[in-house]
Amino acid sequence: MKYGYGWAAIALAAGLICAANGGAAKAATFKSLYNFCSVTDCADGRLPVTPLAVDANGTFYGMTQTGGIQNAHCVSTGCGVIYQLKGRKEKAIYSFCRKLDCSDGFEPSGQLVIDVAGNLYGVTTEGGKHGAGAIFELTTTHKLITLYSFCKKSGCPDGHDAAQLTYQGQQSGAFYDGVSPLYGVTISGGAHNFGAIFRLQLSGGKWSEKVLYSFCSIVPSCSDGIGPTGVFSDASGTLYGTTNGGNGTVFKFQGSTLTTLYTFCSQANCADGKEPFRAGAMDANGNFYGITDMGGSVGVGVLYEIDASGTFVKLHDFCAGEETCTDGAEPRGNVYVDGNGNIFGTTPAGGQGGTGTVFEYSGSNYQVLYSFCDGGLPCLDGASPNVGLVSDGKGNLLGNTVDGGTGHQNLGGTIFEITP
């Protein structure tokens, strides 16, 4: 899954940059922690496209789509890295496509999984033994082990383009135990080539993959969804996620049964939203929250809730009632729900500078906490936060921008911290 560069220019062209005297944001403390592409040839990574993950010691981990080692597969750009962040110090701990055939994978996707010993697990959308992506483990000594390569057979019935890994209890914040099954989704492949839910299981020292569900199993409508883009597991092992193809759905998978919780564009003119891009999040009461990057009253996305009884509620219409989208537009990242039920997220467009926002939804009140690039181009504080936020457990939220910063040509992206 590729992400484009130059979001600031896109926002300008789309007319999403507002006047400098636009709506005010709630007071929040913002810090830029790291600027990617700050070293020669962007060996530290460029274009951070995956949400951060944090270990028990407070060290954060993430992945970039480009940067790192350059070779024939990734001429002049690099194939992406896995990095760690300690305080303000970033270090690329693995560069993808280290092997000439890229059997270790490249173009990583999704949030990393961290086990109790500190090992990392993740997926790539490209590379692997068959060129269709891979599942990997990165040990604490930074050795990468390929656990599975997708597309073993013609047509990729085992999946293609993996998007995310999860495990039972992930939503509670517990670390992975390192031996239980991992679950995930692929955007394409499967029995019908519209994506799949899979399980990766360890037995006798070897990992094996099994497809549990292939999307578009309901024909010809594909009402069960097309192209899942994210998934998470609750404490009982029930999987929740979204599909992005068509108009998009929210689904639940339990045992061997997939239940569609909601189908977007069910309202006239897609006023309820269209094409959710991440898995979403769930609070302690079983309420599901997420965002769409299209649809809504203006067509640039909504924030929504599906409560524990299955009722869909639109919480916020982005860019509604104004021309300048100071509240943000086209959200794509995951939302984060704190212990008090407050919802936090990001948008890659809109805001005072037109290149994105950090927002909070509390009770029935929507507020912008920060607008990127408010001082004008170049966007030294970053531009287009595109993957959502994570908590450091100390009251701060961390996220990435895929553009801007002080790195090479102001296009490397950043890691930032915001304290609501």
Model's pTM, two decimal places?
0.93
* Distance between CA atoms of residues 165 and 25, nearest Å: 35
Q: What is the pLDDT of residue 26?
A: 62
- Give per-residue pLDDT as tens, 126-155: 999 999 999 999 999 999 999 999 999 999
How are beta strands 106-114 and 120-126 bridged, if at all?
Answer: antiparallel
Q: What is the pLDDT of residue 174?
A: 94
For the chain, domain boundaries = 1-16+24-50+273-420, 99-263
Average pLDDT over residues 112-125: 98
Q: What is the pLDDT of residue 7?
A: 41
- Give per-residue pLDDT as tens, 228-251: 999 999 999 999 999 999 999 999
pLDDT exceeds 90 at position 19: no
Please enumerate in sequence order all residues whose Cβ is within 8 A of that of 169, keeping only pairs 6 or more positions apart, or say none: 233, 234, 235
* Distance between CA atoms of residues 109 and 122, nearest Å: 8
* Distance between CA atoms of residues 225 and 187, nearest Å: 11
Average pLDDT over residues 367-375: 95
Q: Which fold has domain 99-263?
A: Neuraminidase (2.120.10)
Q: What is the pLDDT of residue 281?
A: 95
Confidence of residue 183 (pLDDT cuts 50, 70, 90): very high
Q: What is the pLDDT of residue 99?
A: 81
Task: Name the token pair of 277.
Answer: 């891009």
Confidence of residue 358 (pLDDT cuts 50, 70, 90): very high
Average pLDDT over residues 179-203: 97
Q: What is the pLDDT of residue 323?
A: 75
Q: What is the pLDDT of residue 25?
A: 56
For the chain, the C-alpha Rg in angstroms (whole number) is 20
Confidence of residue 59 (pLDDT cuts 50, 70, 90): very high
Q: What are phi and psi of 8, to 5 degrees?
A: -60, -45
Mean pLDDT (the chain) is 92
In this structure, of 44-48, 65-69, 197-201, 415-419, the range with the lowest mean pLDDT score is 65-69
Other Cβ atoms closer than 10 A to 339: 8
* Distance between CA atoms of residues 182 and 371, nearest Å: 37
pLDDT exceeds 90 at position 225: yes
- In percent, how much of the chain has pLDDT > 70? 93
